[in-house]
Amino acid sequence: MGVSDNRVAVNTRDVLEKGLTFVRSSRSGREDFERAVEILANRRVQSRLKNIIHVDGEVQAISDIHRAFATDLVTPFKTVFKWGI
């Protein structure tokens, strides 16, 4: 998990040769999730988020997945869609 959309280069050969293991975790816990849900229930917050989020249709088939990700590539906003599969 991370906070950046930028890729991080990893030399997998070095990782394998050194016997390293990558472990990842979220810095967020249950309380953070519950607080986020509470914040997002606020109509004023929802109205503000509409300025930076593109809501795409529900994904119910493979063609919908292609559509949603193709849309995400060309919109300057974060794309949100519901998985209905």
Q: Which token pair is 41?
A: 């229930």
Say what the pLDDT of residue 76 is. Answer: 87
Say what the pLDDT of residue 39 is. Answer: 94
Q: Which residues pair with 59 in a beta bridge?
A: 83
Q: Compare 66 and 12 and report the one with higher pLDDT.
A: 66
The HSE-up count of residue 39 (CA atoms within 13 Å, CB side) is 9
Look up tokens 């390293």; give the residue.
20
The DSSP symbol for 55 reads E
Say what the pLDDT of residue 17 is. Answer: 85
- The tens digit of pLDDT for each residue in 9-57 reads 888 888 888 888 877 766 778 898 899 999 999 999 999 988 888 888 8
